Structure 1
């Protein structure tokens, strides 16, 4: 059985360290762990899936690849499918950022012994970044890619044993950055856009934020009929932020690689 991963899953696979004990949460058809097992990249994997249909599909995938000795398919919600200390790398892909943060927060003991998180939120990337910082993880790599008309961000975070080193890393990562055109990328903008992605903006990065800017403009138009004072104040605040985003996107576009 020859498994071909999507660009998105291939990028995640490439970030899984060799010899890892992996938990792929929301594994769907277990493509990622089976691919890694067939290429002898991992020593063990849990493919977790809460929905019955994908769970059965994952079992068939593992059986068809004859990987039952390496990939263990389990039915359950989030990290409930793994035992404490059982894995050292966790991948979660294709969910909203809020759900990813909820899954990781549900049972902190399940993260003991985990040294790497590879996360691909479909939306709410800023929620994931905030969670990582608040929970003592170091965001060390970010990648953005386009596939089949959709844009995805992949985040890689590691556990740093040295607490002082971790704090210094995170402070530098989210420190307000002055762009060459005189605009400041504050901590809030860095959480939203990505501290590493915005450092070397690609054409895909610019494409994403031009699209987001269009969505913000449409939201602003729906707020034009505001009648109450409170609603008008909200519109004014949103318009100010939208204008700031417009300036930031224009500035980053001049830096894109």
Structure 2
């Protein structure tokens, strides 16, 4: 039997932030590749793979059985963090969903987070929503990654409970929530590429809103403010080659 799992760069980056020997949950685990991968390489790790749909749940069971990991990877069918019992895990992974859905899962499952020291998320969109949730719920962002794979740009955000140092500056909080407090410090080529794309999108959106018969001035002002932030970030042009 082939005893290895090849993860995408996105998921292997997520896996690298699961602490050694963790008892962790992967919510929306799909085929359970991530928890099985971690447990194959870390003999002390244990995992719960949570799935809300019957099809992926069965696929996850098949993967766990294939790699003979049923004693260390439990597959559970249920909605969000409801698959967890209180105090059961110390690391939580939610990857491959929209930021609004990730935030809803965290908010609705807050009573299951007492023992969770680290949360690793990879939102497909709306990263700011998740950063705001972390900020309001005493999880401090300690690492951020940005990468491009198969034509998509992904951000991975790692937040720890009771971290020693906050990355935020009060006067720049909203900008940091949008761009990422650590990503904005290390403007990689991929970061610049993402925000050049976002600049174009915002210009188009503002143009369309101004053409509307009934204009929402508050919304237009909000987008124009964000546009100025993006322009300021790109104006610097100080690109860090570290990917």
Q: Which has the larger radius of gyration?
A: 1
TM-score scaled to structure 2, two decimals?
0.92
Residue in 2 that maps onto 1:175? 170
Matches within 5 A, 1:47-66: 47-66=49-68
> Match of 2:124, SS?
strand
| Consecutive unaligned residues in structure 2, runs of 5 or more | none
Match of 1:117 among 112, 116, 119: 119
Q: Which residue of 2 aligns with 1:183?
A: none
SS at match of 2:233: helix
In 2, Cα distance between the equivalents of 1:8 and 1:219? 29
Contact 1:21 1:86 in 2 (8 A): yes
What residue is the counterpart of 1:77 in the other structure?
79
Contact in 2 for aligned 1:144/1:197 (Cα 8 Å): yes
Match for residue 247 of structure 1 among 223, 229, 232: 232
RMSD, matched Cα: 1.8
1:220-231 matches, within 5 Å, as 220-228=206-214, 230-231=215-216
Query: Aligned partners of 1:245, 1:37: CA distance in 2, in Å?
Result: 40
Matched residues in 2 for 1:69 and 1:209: separation? 44
Distance 1:55 1:239, change over 3 A: same
2:105 to 95, 103, 106: 103
Aligned residues: 239
Cα deviation digits, residues 40-83 of structure 1 (max 9, x gap): 25431100000111111101111111111110000001111111
Range that drifts further, 125-134 or 232-241: 232-241
SS in structure 2 of the partner of residue 224 of structure 1: helix
Q: Which residue of 1 aligns with 2:69?
A: 67
Query: Shift in Å at residue 144 of structure 1?
Result: 0.4
Q: Give the SS at the match of 1:208.
A: helix
Match of 2:180 in 1: 194
Report whether the alignment pairs 1:238 with 2:240: no
User: After superposition, what is the alpha-carbon deviation per residue over 1:20-59, rounded to whole angstroms, capped at 9, x for unaligned?
Assistant: 0010000000000011111125431100000111111101
The residue number in structure 1 matching 2:201 is 215
Cα-to-partner distance string for 1:85-143 (whole Å, 9 max, x where unaligned): 11111100001111111111113221111111111111111111110010011110000
Within 5 Å, which residues of 2 pair with 1:13-52?
13-52=15-54
> Using the alignment, how far apart are the partners of 1:137 and 1:233 within structure 2?
30
Contact 1:206-1:256 within 8 A present in 2 as well:
no
Instruction: Name the CA shift for 1:240/1:76 in 2 (closer, same or farther; >3 Å).
Output: closer
Name whichever of 33-42 and 188-197 sits farther off: 33-42
Q: Is the Cα contact below 8 Å between 1:145 and 1:151 reproduced in 2?
A: yes
Q: Structure 1: give runs of 5+ residues left out of the alignment.
A: 177-185
Runs of 4+ in structure 1 over 6 Å off: none
Aligned counterparts of 2:14 and 2:27: Cα–Cα separation in 1 = 13
